[in-house]
Amino acid sequence: MPPRTVADKRVLITGASSGIGRATALACARRGARLVLTDIHGSSLDAVVSDIRAGGGTVEYLQALDISDHEAVATMAGQVHSAHGSVDVVMNVAGVAVWGTVDRLSHEQWRRVVEVNLMGPIHVIESFIPAMIAAGRGGHLVNVSSAAGLLGLPWHAPYSATKFGLRGISEVLRFDLRRHDIGVSLVCPGAVNTGLVDTVEIAGVDRSHPTIQRYTARFRRTAVAPEVAAEKILKGLEHNRYWVYTSRDIQLAHLLQRWFETGYVLLMRLANDRFTTIARAAQDQPSPPPPAQRAR
């Protein structure tokens, strides 16, 4: 297929006020896209829109909302379609992160991650993709998964559940939507230096502990900038690539998983041991006893 472009296309981006979402919105604006932007943080979203318009970019619609709220997303879609027509590109970028071992994670933490990271993109897909199909112009769907949607990373059970789920949706839609000339890209970022680095919630671990601060600083040194990730995403879209990696290490790890399972298993065991050592040093509370002990 010929290269695609976002120039003069209506592009919806969720999570547009910070990190990868913000960088992608700015990159699309520079390429001449007509933007439809949303984020849960209204003031930050307004700031991004001001930056885009100050640079000569076009924002046709903006709305602060929580994508886990289906009614809010459906209402937004109705307003966009009534005022502007269907979108040409949908980018599911918004997400939250909660890490922890299963003995420390609360039910509320599990549910929140699932509602935002999995149900949120589903709400966006069901609200915008049917109109894209009906318009008959083709288009593109970008779903931002994660390295945790490929690999069994330590402490990532809730996050991985949602990112593997989004990967599954994308795998089906890449074939379902092909007949409508709608491409699908699955983005699998590794380390990206966004605000999420400082806000990720780790169940049962004191984020202010020097050990955690030291590893956070190390993570930042190896992470790519959001602008680098945004350019990778747009190049993937332009060339209709399904797998989109923002850094070479995740691409190599994915190859290792698929072709050298023994090496992959050993690598994940070593990573798990390292994470466990870190957690023991930075625990902020003891693990809860099993139910039988609590009954006594």
Catalytic machinery residues: 159
* CA dist 141 → 1, 184, 242 (Å): 16, 5, 10
For residues 117 and 40, the answer to whether their CB atoms sit within 8 Å is no
For residues 97 and 201, the answer to whether their CB atoms sit within 8 Å is yes
Report the DSSP pairing between strands 89-92 and 182-188: unpaired
* CA dist 184 → 41, 94, 234 (Å): 27, 17, 12
What letter does residue 194 receive in the DSSP assignment? Answer: S
Smallest Cα–Cα separation from 67: which of 35, 112, 11? Answer: 112
CB-based burial, 105-123: b 16+ in 10 Å, e otherwise: beeebbebbbbbbbbbbbb
In degrees, rounded to 5, the angle at the alpha carbon of residue 159 between the alpha carbons of residues 229 and 26 is: 25
Tokens of 41: 């943080």
What letter does residue 118 receive in the DSSP assignment? Answer: I
Q: How far apart are CA 124 and CA 180, in angstroms?
A: 18
89 phi/psi in degrees, rounded to 5? -135, 135
For the chain, the first-to-last Cα distance in angstroms comes to 66
- Count of H helices and E strands in the chain? 12, 9
